[in-house]
Chains A and B, each alone.
Chain A
Amino acid sequence: EAGVAQSPRYKIIEKRQSVAFWCNPISGHATLYWYQQILGQGPKLLIQFQNNGVVDDSQLPKDRFSAERLKGVDSTLKIQPAKLEDSAVYLCASRPNLGGLQETQYFGPGTRLLVL
């Protein structure tokens, strides 16, 4: 079974530029998450999708961050414009929706963003 795919793996931009990250979850996984992980900290949830609908985006800085999952499969996270403090690893995770609330999340390798 293929894992969660993310691209690009690394990105360097200057502040005020825009950047987009792509995620392809494990086939058949209905739930998709985007996390931000700042160096030395644990991942912090930005947004959760169930199929193509947003379930939780309470911690997404909506003035500059946006995310979509139009067909309920792959997803894009965008930052526009980027700030220095957005330097972090952006992780995508997916989870099957088999009914058990303790289901495992499967993470991708992440995209490491550096804002100069």
Chain B
Amino acid sequence: DAKTTQPNSMESNEEEPVHLPCNHSTISGTDYIHWYRQLPSQGPEYVIHGLTSNVNNRMASLAIAEDRKSSTLILHRATLRDAAVYYCILRDGNYGQNFVFGPGTRLSVLP
């Protein structure tokens, strides 16, 4: 399975943008980049995913480097509710491999 590397923890102030990085230097051409987050005492929830182009949805934006060896999840205005563990996961679109979760990044949002 292709591996991802994320910082263990990050801090942000409320209502400021947050950029969560993910390195995936061994990514293959058919690997999709998925982001999930896990709020306290809940199961993970889908945030966003992409292949090559930058992606936007109501929750966040995903910026993918041109060489696809790294990506950044962008929360445009952090709220206290965004405090969670964020997971960056690669999944092969051709072979439908299952998700392999790393330890993720624990995001703290300060009021």
Chain A interface (Cβ within 8 Å of chain B)?
4, 33, 40-45, 48, 56, 91, 93, 101-102, 104-110
Contact = CB atoms under 8 A, between A and B. Distances in A.
A105 B46 contact: yes
B102 interface: yes
A101 B93 contact: yes
Given A42-B87, A102-B32, A109 B98 contact: no
A56 B103 CA distance: 22
Interface stretch (B12-20, B37-45, B58-66, B71-79): B37-45
Contacts of A104: 46, 49
A2 B61 CA distance: 27
A109 B43 contact: yes
A107 B45 contact: yes
B91 interface: yes
A44 B85 CA distance: 15
Contact of A102 (B41, B42, B91, B102): B91
A48 B93 CA distance: 17
Contacts of B99: 45, 105
Given A102-B32, A102-B91, A42 B102 contact: yes
A106 B85 CA distance: 16
A48 B98 CA distance: 9
7 contacts: A41-B103, A45-B100, A48-B98, A102-B32, A104-B49, A107-B42, A108-B43
Contacts of A101: 91-96
Contacts of B98: 33, 45, 48, 56
Contacts of B94: 101
Contacts of B103: 40-42
